[in-house]
Amino acid sequence: MINLEVDIAGVKLKNPIITASGTFANGREISEYYDLCELGAVCVKAITLEPRRGNKPPRIAETPSGILNSVGLQNAGLAYFMKYEIPFLRKYDTKIIANISGCTIEENCEIAKRLGNLVDLIELNVSCPNVKEGGVAFGTNPKITKEITKRVKENCAVPLIVKLSPNVTDIKEIAKAAEEGGADALSLINTILGMQIDVNTRRPTLANNTGGLSGPAVKPVAVRMAWEVSSITDLPIIGMGGIMSGEDVAEFMLAGATAVAVGTANLVNPTACVDIKKEFINYLDENNIDDVHEIIKAVKIF
Ligand code: SIN
């Protein structure tokens, strides 16, 4: 039997496969395809204090080897999440990660405080590229990243993951700032800011003009950043960005990730997470690896 269990800041995940925030609704639809107990954790769609309608459509566009989105943090708000989504997810033997995406430091503190220990981990989103306030504005400035991490951490009853943006000059600097602020773990990468133009209408394909690129196109950037961040911190890293196969999982773990989040693949194939998990187990099996820890940060750098 291969040991797949990993530890994120004291929280044990039965395997390293997590759903990436915003690509899985909150599991209801996908639970009709497979048992959510298969997952190491479910990371839910971004939560704000009040409900948000998100940005104007069109807000998703296909690109070669990825998608652009500018959803704008649409969600039903914290009260709805606590009343309906937590009880639904708690029926499954998997961990819950709440992605919180308030517009202000105070809003994030309030959400974290009210969630208490009803979830297993909180992922602070300082990296959404699609909103005017908060999001990436927090996560591109090391001073603000440190400050928001510290303040939110003071209000967290569970370990705090900080989700980093790739839209920076040096992600290591932001990762260090999050660590200094008291982050218990880091997740990366959120989407890369992009733009697509319809040459016939001469208009951007997204009503927000720009959006975040995800999918296989971003994977080499994400792997590079996971590796860079793992070289400057011992905090556990959740790697994500374009994971479509079991070998992609191995690649992120070799780069230094303790766990991974699968995002865009869920939009292509509703059983992506379980398919990828099976492929990953096959990879471990074929390489005679009986404990997943053997490959974490095991890249042989030239
Ligand atoms: C969105 O809702 O716009 C995407 C969330 C994110 O990129 O953090």
Cα 20 to ligand 1 centre (Å): 11
Active site residue 37: no
pTM of the model: 0.98
pLDDT digits (tens, 9 = 90+) for 82-120: 999 999 999 999 999 999 999 999 999 999 999 999 999
Ligand 1 neighbours (beta carbon < 6 A): 22, 46, 69-73, 125, 127-130, 190-191, 212
- Specify the 3-state DSSP secondary structure of 158: coil
Q: Whose CA is nearest to atom 8 of ligand 1?
A: 128
Q: Examine the pLDDT at 134 and tell me if it is beyond 90.
A: no
Q: Which atom of ligand 1 lies at the shortest distance from residue 127's CA?
A: 8
242: left (phi over 0), alpha (psi -120 to 50) or beta: left
- Enter the tokens of residue 262: 């699968």
Nearest to 292 by CA among 250, 246, 231, 239: 250
- Active-site option among 43, 109, 128, 273: 128
Q: Whose CA is nearest to atom 7 of ligand 1?
A: 128
Q: Which atom of ligand 1 lies at the shortest distance from residue 73's CA?
A: 2
pLDDT digits (tens, 9 = 90+) for 135-167: 888 999 999 999 999 999 999 999 999 999 999
Q: Whose CA is nearest to atom 5 of ligand 1?
A: 128
pLDDT, residue 183, reads 98
pLDDT, residue 121, reads 99
pLDDT, residue 17, reads 98
**Residue in 23, 74, 103, 130 to alter for ligand 1 test, most ligand atoms within 8 A of Cβ:** 130
> For all residues of the chain together, what is the average pLDDT?
97
CATH architecture of 6-294: Alpha-Beta Barrel (3.20)
User: Cα–Cα distance between 140 and 212 in angstroms, integer?
Assistant: 15
pLDDT digits (tens, 9 = 90+) for 25-69: 889 999 999 999 999 999 999 999 999 999 999 999 999 999 999
Helix (H) or strand (E) holding 213: strand 210-214
Q: Examine the pLDDT at 133 and tell me if it is beyond 90.
A: no
Q: Which atom of ligand 1 lies at the shortest distance from residue 130's CA?
A: 3
Count of residues for the chain?
302
Provide the residue ranges of all domains of the chain, joining segments of one domain with +.
6-294
pLDDT digits (tens, 9 = 90+) for 204-258: 999 999 999 999 999 999 999 999 999 999 999 999 999 999 999 999 999 999 9
pLDDT, residue 60, reads 97
pLDDT, residue 206, reads 98
